[in-house]
Amino acid sequence: MSKDTQYKSKVSDSNGIIHWTDEENQVWSELFNRQIDLIQNRACDQYHEGLDLLGLSSDGIPQLPELNNKLKKATGWQTAEVPALIPFSEFFRLLANKQFPVATFIRTREEFDYLQEPDIFHEVFGHCPLLTNPAFAQFTHTYGKLGLSASKEDRVFLARLYWFTVEFGLVNTAQGLRIYGGGILSSPGETVYALESDTPVRKPLDPIDALRTPYRIDIMQPLYYILEQFDDLFTLSEMDLMALVAKAKEQGLFEPLFPPKEKKASGQN
């Protein structure tokens, strides 16, 4: 994971409180109000239940100690205040200890619509509500423990499974297809695109397929994997995922469904 970032996370005081500016709280409020309308009939019920349990609102950026009290009671999880970007090893260590990393900065207005780095809106609004759900919490914990002991090569395969579930997963429900991936839930464009566009491919989740599927972080996803039901995350967490990684490595990667990333110009004539 690259450590290059233009953002600098804020540090909490001795009480765990971060002193956000009025502008930063206003950015959160506008992001929240825009997104809460979009997800009403698009996010899964488990997400909405978690949102209510955490009491997230447009009033301002929530303080992590308040979230931690509610997460602890629900599933034993906590948030962890981190710099803007952290190494994979630290990411897995935190998840293995039931701590979800939250970068304590919020995007600027210049990057209001799209940000390649995970800010506090993405982490808290996108992911924290589902950490109140036992199935999601168990899968994320299992993923962290596996990643912590995995080789560097195997971590790259595991990252794909995380991408197509925790970040960009869809799930079948009695009401139709719904979103549970935090990367979608914190993005206005992708919230609509993931469910309603005719462009992307949508396939039932096969763990080995997900492990073999390349992705890019800077485009609308060309492919989404669908859980048959939300509690399949329990089943997934109980599989021998490292054995599946070994099979995925043997079979090799699928051809990407996206063009290669354009190289930046060198600046030379």
Q: What is the pLDDT of residues 210-264, one digit of tens each?
A: 999 999 999 999 999 999 999 999 999 999 999 999 999 999 999 999 998 876 5
- Round the average pLDDT of the chain to a whole number and report it: 94
**Cα atoms found within 13 Å of the Cα of residue 71, Cβ hemisphere only:** 22
Give this prediction's pTM: 0.93
Q: Is 48 in the active site?
A: no
- Report percent pLDDT > 70 for the chain: 96
pLDDT digits (tens, 9 = 90+) for 59-99: 999 999 999 999 999 999 999 999 878 999 999 999 999 99
Q: If we measure between CA atoms, which residue out of 265, 254, 155 comes closest to residue 210?
A: 254
Q: Of 9, 123, 127, 141, which one is the catalytic site residue?
A: 127
For residue 12, report the phi and psi dihedrals to the nearest 5 degrees.
-75, 160
Binding-site positions for Fe cation: 122, 127, 167
Would you say residue 198 has pLDDT above 70? yes
| For range 181-207, the mean pLDDT | 97
CB atoms within 10 A of CB 237: 19
Residue 265 has pLDDT above 60, yes or no: no
Does 122 participate in catalysis according to the annotation?
yes
Residue 172 structure tokens: 């079948």
Could you write out the three-class secondary structure of 76-134?
Answer: CCEEEEECCCCCHHHHHHHHHCCEEEEECCCCCHHHCCCCCCCCHHHHHHHHHHHHHCH
Question: Annotated binding site: which residue ranges?
Answer: 122, 127, 167
Query: Is 127 among the residues known to form the active site?
Result: yes
The residue from 186, 187, 190, 237 that is catalytic is 186
Of the residues 9, 122, 187, 237, which is catalytic? 122
pLDDT at 2: 44
Q: Which domains does the chain have, with CATH numbers?
A: 22-251 (1.10.800.10)
Active site residue 255: no
Active-site residue, selected from the candidate residues 24, 123, 167, 190: 167
Judge whether residue 1 has pLDDT over 50. no
